[in-house]
Chain A
C-alpha cells in the first residue's frame, strides 16, 4: 500500500452495479396528469355525481345529459339502474370501500349497488383501498368461486405442428382457455385448426380462441373451430373509440353476434390504451378504465379481459401503476364481470417485479389469473412476451406449492408431456393428410415433438402455412370435417373431445358469466358462485387439489438420499478402513490433535455435500496436522452430531487441547478445550463450497494452534450463493441420519483408519 494521492471517486460503484441489473432496462415516467400519466387521480377527473328524473339519468359525474358523449350515453342508458342509483350514489365512497373489505357484507349486496354507481364513483371508492385491501376485496368479489388460468399458444413460424403439440401441452398443464394469434394474418385458419386439434388431445373442455381481425375471427368461430373470443376492445374516451374504428353500438352489436353463434365472448380494455392512442383527455388511468368497465356491463358482455393488457407496460411506468391495475380488476369483478385479469403483456425486465406483480392474483384467485400466460417461450409469443412465459412456468408451479394457492395450473410428468406432444403432432398430421392440406414428414414431426421452441424445429415456415391456411378457407372446411378426419384415421378420442366442445354451443350454458369446463361440466358464476364470507368460506384448496399442486418434479426423499449414499459406500470401502479400538481416553501428548468424527461418518454416510469422499477429507485433515508438526488421533463421537460439540469434545480429549470436529456432510470446526461451545477457533459452515485444500489448511492451522501460534484463519470464499435453498433439504435429511445414531451418554471410541489406495 502506498500513500500516493489517488483521484477522488465521482461515484459510489454500487450505482454502476445497479446500472447493470435488468431493472434498469425499465424506464419510468414522472407523474404528469396533464400528459395522461396519472394512475389514480387527475385534477381533470370529474367528481362523482348523478341525478335521476322520470326514470332516466339526467346527470352523471358532473355532466348534464345534454353534454353526454357516446360513452356517457351508453353507460347512462344501459349500465345505470335509475332505481338503485340514488341509494348507491348517496353512500360515501369511504363507506363503500369499507364494505368491499368487510367479509360480512355479501358480494351480492355490493354487486346490486354497483348497478347504480357511476364511473367516477367506482374509481373514487377503490382508490381508498391499499394494495392489500384491493387484493382481499378482489378475492371476495370475483364472480366464480374456483380460480382458473388462460395461456397463449403461438409460435414464431406459425407452424401448425408445433401449434398442436404446444396446445396439447398447455391443456395438460391445466389452462382453462388457450388463445392463439399469428405472425402472418392469413395464417389464421391454419392456427385455428391446429390449436383446435391439439387442445382435443388428452382431455376435453379447454376453450380456444384465435385472435384475428374482427370479421375473420367471427368467421372462424362460425366454422366451429373456436369457442370464445376476447379481443373485442373498448376504450374510455370517445376519440379513442372512434380511432379504434368502433363505437359502443358497433361493439355491442358484435357481442350479440357472437352470442347468436353460441360463442363465449368477453371484451378487452385496460389502463394505458387511451394514453397510447393519444386521446386520454388528461384523465387518470383508473377513471378512464372505470368508464370502459361500466360500458362493458352496459353492453351485456359476460366478462372482460382487463388489467392493463397492452397498456400494462406504460401503466407500470407511473407511480402506483401496478396498484392501479389491481384496482381496475376490482372494479371489473364488482361490476359482476368475469375477469381475465391481465398479467399478460410483460411490463418489466425485472424478475422481482414479475414475481411481485403476480402474487396478489395467485393468492386471491381470479377467473383467469392471466389473460394470456405465455405457455410457449418468449420469442415464440406472437402477442409479445407475457408476464410469465414457458421459461418461467415451473417457477409459477412452485409458487402455487409455496403458498398452497390454486393458480389454475398443475404439474405434469415429463413422460406424459412427451406422449401428448407425439399424439397431438400425429393427430394433426392425420387431419392435414386426410383433408389433403399437407403431408408432414417424419423428420418434421420428430423435431417438433422434442422442441422447446421454434428455433429448434425443422417444420413448416410461414409461407408454407399460408398455403395450408388458404386451402382450409377455400375448401370451406369446418370443424365437422376435422372431427370426421380425426375419427377416420383412428383418433376417436380426439374426435369425441372436439365434438364435445362444439356441442357446448347447443345449450349455451357456457355463455353465462365466468364459464369454464371442468371435468366435463360447465362451471360458471351461476352454479359455482363466489360465496366468500370469511375464513372457511369461498374457494378452499381441497385435499385432492392440494396433492396435485404440490406434486412438482425432483422432490427429495429420505430414501433417495440413502440410495445416493449407498452408491458411494462400495467405492469408499476400497479407499479406507475404519477399525474401532475402544473407548477414547484423554491424550497426554501435547502435540496431539484429535479429529472428532460424527456418528454416521463412514458408516451410513460416505461423502460431503460438496461431493468429496470422506476418506479424502480425513486424509487432507491428517496430512495437514502432520505437516504442522503434530500427530492426529481420530475419534468417533456417539453422544452428539453437532459440529460445535464434536469439536469441543475432540479438543477436551486432545493432549494439545485442540481438536477438529467434522460431520459427514463436511461441516468442520477447530476448537479449544477452554472455549465456550459456540465460540470456536475456526469454522467451515459452507460445506458445499469447501474444497479439499481448505481441509488440509484447517489441519495445518489446528496444528499451529496446538503449537501456541496464531495462524491466518482459513476463509472459504463465497459468492453469495443461496446455499440454504440448494442444500438444506438434503442436509436436513442427512443430519437426521446422523442424529439417529446418537445415544445419550455414549462414549467416544478411538478409531484406527487405514488408507487403502483405491480411487
Chain B
C-alpha cells in the first residue's frame, strides 16, 4: 500500500511539475532574473491552495494532523538556502526539477544530477565539521510553526491558533499570487527570438 501511494502521489507530482513549466531551465532563469514571474505566481498559488486545504481539512477532521512534518530551523537552513539559490540560478534546476527534467529528455539535467550526487556525497563527508561549526544549532525553537497547530505536537512561534492562521496565510499567498505582476521588468531586457 505504501509503495502504491508512492507511485500515485509521486507520479502526480512529477506530471504536474512538468506541466507548470518548472522542468524548463529557461522558465526558471526568467523567473529568477525577474523577467517573467508567471511560474512564481503558480508556486505561490499552489502553496496557498495546499495550505487552505490542509488546515481547513484538519479543522473539519478530514486531514490527519499527524501527517504534518515540520523541519527544524537552524542557521544552516539559511546558509544552505543561499547555496541552493545560487546553484538554482546558475543551473535552472533544483533537486526535484533536475530529476524530472532529465526524465523529460534534457541532457544537461544529467550533468546536474551527477553534480548533485557528488554534492550530497560531499555533505555526507563534511557533516561532522559542519556540525562542529555550530551551523546545525536550533534557532527560534527549532521545529516550530508560526501559530500553534492544535494536536500537531509542534510548538508555535506565537500562541495564535495555527490552523486558523494557516488558512489566513494561505489566503495571503493566493492574494499575492494574483497581485504579483507577471512582467515586472517589462520593456527593459531586449527580447531575443528563441531558435
Do A and B share a complex?
no
A residues neighboring B (CB under 8 Å): none
